[in-house]
Amino acid sequence: MIEIHDTLRNEYGWDIVAVHAAVDEVMETSRLSYPYLGDDNWTDDRILYSECIVTDGDEVVGAGRLIWDAERENALPRIQDFCLLRAYRSDFVISSMISVLIDGYAEEAEGGTTVLAHDGSEIDISERVERLRDIARGQFEPRVI
């Protein structure tokens, strides 16, 4: 079964070193993220807001991060290190990964309400940010089933 896990919360007790080694393997062959200059240089002003991995049983089949270079002028928060094995690539899995990453960022959204997707496109998350703020204040509409 395919699952998406938030690795920053590490609620599963994984060996993070082993997980990152597995992600590196997938990244080498299955990268989908748009290449940004300076991605290899992790500076002190870079903030990791969210990170996820995709697993199929015990196998890591994908991953992604949402980061923001706070000190760079006009830098937008962006999805990087986004990878997914070809056999698992579907619009549903990719959009679910993006959604998980954006939700992790939208809780604070310090870098603004526009996020660069893995392919370089801009995503307006203003409605999501507002909804999460309303929920945090206890003001939300119940779901209708």
pLDDT at 101: 96
Q: Would residue 90 count as lying in a domain?
A: yes
pLDDT greater than 70 at residue 12 = no
Q: How many CA atoms lie within 13 A of 124 on its CB side?
A: 2
CA 23 to chain centre: 14
Residue 81 Cα distances to 17, 125, 126, 137, 143, angstroms: 16, 20, 24, 33, 34
pLDDT (tens digit per residue) in 71-115: 888 899 999 999 999 999 999 999 999 999 999 999 889 999 999
The proportion of the chain whose per-residue pLDDT surpasses 90, expressed as a percent, equals: 51
How many angstroms separate the CA atoms of 54 and 58, rounded? 10
Q: Would residue 141 count as lying in a domain?
A: no
Q: What's the pTM?
A: 0.85
Can you give the CATH number for the domain in which 51 is found?
3.40.630
The residue among 85, 41, 47 whose CA lies nearest residue 66 is 47
Domain limits for position 30: 2-136
